[in-house]
Amino acid sequence: MESQMKSNESKMLQSQMPEGLELEITHHPLTMKSVVNLVIAMERLKGNRSESLLSTEFRDENLLSMMMDTIVEEQIVFERYSAPPVQKYMRMSMQEYSVSDSEKRSLIRVPDSMELNAVMLQGGSECRKVNLNLSTYVHLESSINAQTVALGIRGTNFFLSCHKDGEEPTLHLEAVEDKEQLSSISSDSELVRFLFNKHITGINLCTLVSVPYSDWYISTAVEENKPVEMCLESAQRNTIFTLLALKKTPTCEGEM
């Protein structure tokens, strides 16, 4: 019964086809692309039936040309991402500074630890104060509003660094045995963790922002005698520091 119905359907469709064309019904599975192409071709055949399809000049090549015009081609788009260019930071000079936060608190190193705290020093305790050696770097994309620096603790081989120790960037105090390895730093090297951008906000005032994590600032807590840490600008912490130059060293070739 089913085959007879299909035969009748085939005869009915064949009677509607233009002269010179034959209709073949296949039961092979078709892809969606093939179905789309077939529908488009049939629509074009209907639209042009009164013209070329009824002409005695209509040939197989005409039908092939019409079918090729309706082919839906798949296009694969590849997204290409280019890595940011590698920057080379070259150390040019060094300057010693005293540093205090916006609450006039000095930085001290906690005994037997690798941690800095912000403390309001009393008379006679100035010897506990930490001064910083700021090594200045230049690179191709230097900004007039920011200066790239490395922050060393005067009289030691300790440097401040910022890298992830978990989910968020954190501030560290690291010992650098060979300081010359910081004379030239590539942006794609691990040593970039020692670099900070110094943004001037006023006379002797600045913020210190991590180079690899440009939204994270060196900061102090509102409370007394708390660790110096990294934070986002929106955090309720002090991010502005007063840096006062103490003396200059001629070049960075000597002791830092």
Per-residue pLDDT band for 3 (boundaries 50, 70, 90) equals low
Q: Is 78 strand, coil or helix?
A: coil
Q: How far apart are CA 62 and CA 180, in angstroms?
A: 78
The reported pLDDT for the residue numbered 254 is 41
Burial of 48 (0-12, 13-18, 19+ CB in 10 A): middle
Please tell me the pTM assigned to this model.
0.65
Q: How far apart are CA 105 and CA 83, in angstroms?
A: 41
The reported pLDDT for the residue numbered 53 is 46
List 138's β-bridge partners, or say none: 90
pLDDT, the chain, mean: 80
Nearest to 256 by CA among 175, 163, 187: 175
158-170 pLDDT per residue, tens: 999 999 988 999 9
92-245: CATH, from 2.40.100.10, 2.80.10.50, 3.40.720.10, 3.40.50.150:
2.80.10.50
58-112 pLDDT per residue, tens: 566 666 666 666 555 556 666 665 666 788 999 999 999 999 999 999 999 998 8
148-186 burial, b for 16+ CB within 10 Å, e for fewer?
bbbbbbeeeebbbbbbeeeeebebbbeebeebeebbebe
Residue bearing tokens 């940011």: 84
How many Å is the Cα radius of gyration of the chain?
Answer: 38
Ordered by start, the domain boundaries in the chain are: 92-245
